[in-house]
């Protein structure tokens, strides 16, 4: 019995030490590369830690003789309860995220923005509140939809690119998505990653009547990044020795051409209502494609002329935690990113920096930004927002306190739920 108690005490101390580490991650997003990676997952599952720390605290207290070790008893009680409260912070600040989102929507769509969405749509198809406690703990109820996988859209002998398509289960005519197209661009530091990121969101939106094309693009050959983001996985057929971000945009452009000529009719998708969405590096590419779509006549025409199909109507873009300045990114990742060193005089860096491409004819944007994101710092999306504001284009940038990188992926977490509530409304408002 004595040994069991010693083992339990060691277990409690280990959990407390882990709690201190989680606290460091929660407040800083992690400064070292390992912690930054851990933060992506851990910050999304903190609600469960509330009860792990509460139970551990009570367990630890049960193992201490209060009369004989009064000081230790209270020290454990205070430490344990503090850790429990710290783990509750993402839950506690949810009203702040909701308030941030609401302010952004009011600024973009007016005080009565929600009244622009028919009641029957909100009642029958949309989330009725930005947050549900039950979902936060019990997991997200996945929507049902049709999925077709591994359809090839590009093959030049060296690189082969596939896409998956998510569609509503039944061709119900009155679904709020109206068969609008969403092109999903995955993240992974331009060098890794694959389709399937944001799976519950894609299923949810497909069930609402959107046709979602989750596409691959060529990956830059940066071995260190592939190793670092090993968890993200990647398709080795996508990696090209000379691929740069310019090629990646060309690949996405090729997809839009095939979409226009073939896939829109195959999947009965609406070319007059197209959205581009993606996170991280995919968020950056979303910005470049969305703002570069009409750039054929602009100062960066040399990079965008004939890149995209010309009969798409891009209604809005949804970059999540997007990278922005390519010159700055290239300083860290090297010249493989755009084929030239970051200090070169080439304007290619500016041509592939979303905020540089913004003009008054560009589509509105909805941006997800975790305030503790250490992979893509919040100032990057702030630069995009500033450029959009200056051009007079609507931009809703929702800031999520205590959220890190890719923190909407575990959709039932508080950030994910709030994000989905405003995302479905944003898409609907911009279809109108």
Residue from 363, 215, 351, 365 nearest 296 by CA = 351
Segment contacting other proteins by CB under 8 A, of 245-253, 330-338, 376-384, 405-413 = 405-413
**Phi, then psi, of 306 in degrees rounded to 5:** 60, 20
Among 105, 109, 140, 255, binds other proteins (CB under 8 A): 140
173 binds other proteins (CB under 8 A): no
Among 105, 109, 131, 293, binds other proteins (CB under 8 A): 131
Give Cβ neighbours of residue 340 (< 8 Å, ≥ 6 apart).
346, 348
**What minimum distance in Å lies between the beta carbon of 52 and other proteins?**
5
The residues in 187-216 that bind other proteins, with binding defined as CB under 8 A, are 196, 199-200, 204
117 binds other proteins (CB under 8 A): no
**What minimum distance in Å lies between the beta carbon of 29 and other proteins?**
20
Among 89, 107, 410, 431, binds other proteins (CB under 8 A): 410
Among 85, 115, 142, 390, binds other proteins (CB under 8 A): 142
DSSP collapsed to 3 states, 59-124: HHHHCCCCCCCHHHHHHHHHHHHHHHHHHHHHHHCHHHHHHHHHHHHHHHHCCCHHHHCCHHHHHH
**What minimum distance in Å lies between the beta carbon of 104 and other proteins?**
22
Number of other residues whose CB lies within 10 A of the CB of residue 233: 13
Helix axes 70-92, 2-28, angle to 10 degrees: 40
21 binds other proteins (CB under 8 A): no
**What minimum distance in Å lies between the beta carbon of 371 and other proteins?**
21
Among 1, 3, 71, 134, binds other proteins (CB under 8 A): 134
48 binds other proteins (CB under 8 A): yes
35 vs 127: CA distance, rounded Å: 33
Beta strands in 197-241 (DSSP E): 211-215, 219-220, 239-240
**What minimum distance in Å lies between the beta carbon of 430 and other proteins?**
21
Find out whether 30 and 23 touch, Cβ atoms under 8 Å. no
The site for other proteins, by CB under 8 A, has a size of 42
Residue with tokens 């944001």: 198
The residues in 336-355 that bind other proteins, with binding defined as CB under 8 A, are none
**What minimum distance in Å lies between the beta carbon of 129 and other proteins?**
5
295 vs 351: CA distance, rounded Å: 10
**What minimum distance in Å lies between the beta carbon of 13 and other proteins?**
15
262 vs 213: CA distance, rounded Å: 13
132 binds other proteins (CB under 8 A): yes
133 binds other proteins (CB under 8 A): yes
128 binds other proteins (CB under 8 A): yes
**What minimum distance in Å lies between the beta carbon of 293 and other proteins?**
30
Among 95, 118, 141, 171, binds other proteins (CB under 8 A): 141
217 vs 248: CA distance, rounded Å: 6
247 vs 338: CA distance, rounded Å: 9
The contact set with other proteins (CB under 8 A) reads 41, 44-45, 48-49, 51-52, 54-56, 58-59, 61-62, 124-125, 127-129, 131-143, 147, 196, 199-200, 204, 409-413
């Amino acid at each position: 019995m004595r040994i069991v108690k010693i083992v339990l005490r060691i277990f409690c101390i280990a959990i407390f030490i882990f709690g201190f580490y989680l606290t460091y991650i929660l407040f800083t997003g992690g400064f070292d590369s390992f912690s930054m990676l851990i933060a992506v997952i851990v910050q999304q599952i903190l609600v469960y830690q509330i009860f792990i720390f509460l139970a551990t605290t009570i367990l630890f207290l049960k193992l201490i003789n209060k009369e004989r070790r009064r000081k230790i008893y209270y020290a454990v009680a205070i430490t344990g309860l503090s850790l429990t409260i710290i783990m509750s912070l993402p839950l506690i600040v949810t009203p702040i995220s909701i308030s941030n989102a609401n302010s952004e929507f009011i600024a973009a769509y007016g005080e009565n923005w929600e009244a622009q969405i028919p009641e029957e749509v909100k009642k029958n198809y949309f989330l009725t509140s930005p947050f549900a406690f039950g979902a936060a703990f019990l997991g997200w109820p996945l929507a049902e939809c049709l999925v077709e996988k591994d359809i090839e859209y590009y093959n030049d002998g060296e690189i082969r690119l596939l896409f998956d398509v998510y569609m509503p289960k039944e061709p119900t005519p009155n679904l709020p998505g109206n068969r609008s197209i969403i092109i999903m661009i995955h993240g992974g530091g331009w060098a890794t990653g694959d389709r399937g990121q944001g799976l519950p969101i894609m299923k949810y939106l497909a069930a609402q009547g959107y046709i979602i094309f989750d596409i691959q693009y060529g990956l830059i050959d940066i071995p260190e990044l592939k190793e670092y983001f090993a968890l993200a996985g990647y398709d080795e057929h996508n990696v090209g020795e000379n691929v740069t971000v310019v090629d990646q945009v060309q690949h996405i452009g090729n997809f839009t051409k095939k979409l226009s000529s073939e896939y829109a009719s195959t999947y009965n998708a609406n070319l007059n209502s197209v959205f581009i969405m993606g996170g991280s590096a995919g968020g950056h590419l979303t910005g470049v494609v969305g703002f570069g779509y009409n750039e054929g006549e602009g100062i960066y025409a040399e990079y965008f002329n004939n890149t995209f199909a010309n009969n798409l109507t891009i209604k809005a873009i949804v970059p999540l935690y997007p990278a922005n300045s390519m010159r700055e990114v290239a300083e860290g990742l090297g010249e493989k990113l755009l084929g030239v060193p970051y200090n070169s005089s080439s304007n290619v860096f500016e041509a592939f920096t979303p905020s540089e491409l913004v003009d008054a004819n560009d589509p509105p944007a909805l941006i997800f930004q975790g305030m503790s994101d250490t992979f893509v710092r919040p100032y990057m999306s702030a630069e995009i927002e500033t450029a959009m504001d200056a051009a007079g284009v609507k931009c809703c940038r929702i800031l999520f306190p205590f959220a890190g990188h890719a923190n909407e992926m575990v959709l039932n977490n508080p950030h994910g739920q709030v994000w989905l509530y405003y995302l479905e409304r944003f898409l609907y408002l911009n279809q109108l």
